[in-house]
């Protein structure tokens, strides 16, 4: 279960950072009206209550009434029946409701970068990917560190999405993560000591990850 929790959280963090950073770069490339529309759509996703968003995603991927299976030609495929498909469905919902924070934060950081630096890189023949990897990413390292740590904390303790979309942890507990397991033990089975112990373990794991990442950022900053 610990491996499933760590793997699921890592996939959510990577997906959120990838989508958020890509759209942040896109915001700097489009005109004012498309930029405003994208920002409003992202803020709408961010402001949607978690239970509401999870319910809407369940409807979209419903095997009987949802439009996604019809568009993809999957027939009556049930996303919540299989372990990995259920995790994938929850992952998509988590990324959907989490990427706006990364997108807006990184976009603000990109706007603060002097345009002369980007123009000089473009004149030297650097591609967009090279500009991001060699110019923007190093300059945005503090911001990327903040959004990464925030995403790790949020995604490691995901509860509502998994509980709602998999019916409390999936068939025979195949989609259980530590947060949902702690809830089941503490409130469904009245094993409050076990539930509290799981919560303390999660706190220590998150603290270790956060401190390790901040130490790495500090070391990289000293090397620069």
pLDDT per residue of the chain (224 residues) written in tens, 0 to 9 = 788 899 999 999 999 999 999 999 899 888 989 999 999 999 899 888 999 999 999 999 988 888 998 888 887 888 988 899 999 999 999 999 999 999 999 999 988 888 888 788 888 887 878 888 888 888 888 888 888 888 988 888 899 999 999 988 888 788 889 889 888 888 878 888 888 898 898 889 888 887 877 777 677 665 44
Give the torsion sign (CA, 191, 196, 197, 198).
positive
CA 113, CA 211: separation in Å to the nearest integer?
27
Task: Give the pLDDT score at 220.
Answer: 60
The per-residue pLDDT for 36 is 93
82 Rama sector, left if φ>0, alpha if ψ -120 to 50, beta otherwise: beta
CA distance 102 to 126: 25
In angstroms, the CA 10 to CA 200 distance is: 20
Residues 28, 33, 35: CA angle, nearest 5 degrees: 30
pLDDT given at position 124: 80
204: Cβ–Cβ under 8 A, 6 or more apart, which residues?
none
User: What integer pLDDT is reported at residue 70 of this predicted model?
Assistant: 87
Enter the DSSP assignment of 211: H
Position 88 scores a pLDDT of 94
| Predicted pLDDT at 157 | 86
């Amino acid at each position: 279960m610990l491996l499933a929790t760590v793997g699921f959280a890592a996939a959510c963090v990577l997906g959120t950072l990838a989508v958020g950073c890509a759209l942040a770069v896109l915001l700097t490339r489009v005109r004012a009206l498309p930029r405003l529309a994208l920002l409003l759509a992202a803020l709408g996703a961010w402001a949607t209550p978690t239970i509401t968003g999870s319910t809407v995603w369940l409807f979209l991927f419903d095997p009987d009434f949802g439009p996604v299976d019809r568009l993809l030609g999957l027939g009556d495929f049930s996303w919540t029946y299989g372990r990995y498909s259920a995790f994938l469905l929850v992952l998509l919902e988590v990324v959907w409701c989490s990427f706006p924070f990364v997108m807006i934060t990184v976009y603000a950081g990109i706007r603060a970068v002097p345009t002369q630096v980007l123009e000089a890189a473009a004149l030297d023949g650097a591609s967009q990917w090279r500009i991001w990897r060699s110019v923007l990413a190093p300059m945005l390292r503090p911001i990327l560190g903040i959004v990464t740590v925030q995403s790790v904390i949020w995604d490691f303790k995901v509860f509502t999405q998994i509980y709602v979309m998999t019916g409390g942890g999936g068939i025979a507990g195949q989609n259980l993560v530590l947060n949902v397991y702690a809830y089941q033990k503490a409130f469904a089975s009245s094993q409050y000591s076990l539930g509290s112990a799981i919560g303390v373990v999660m706190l220590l794991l998150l603290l270790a990850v956060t401190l390790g990442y901040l130490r790495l950022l500090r070391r990289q900053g000293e090397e620069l």
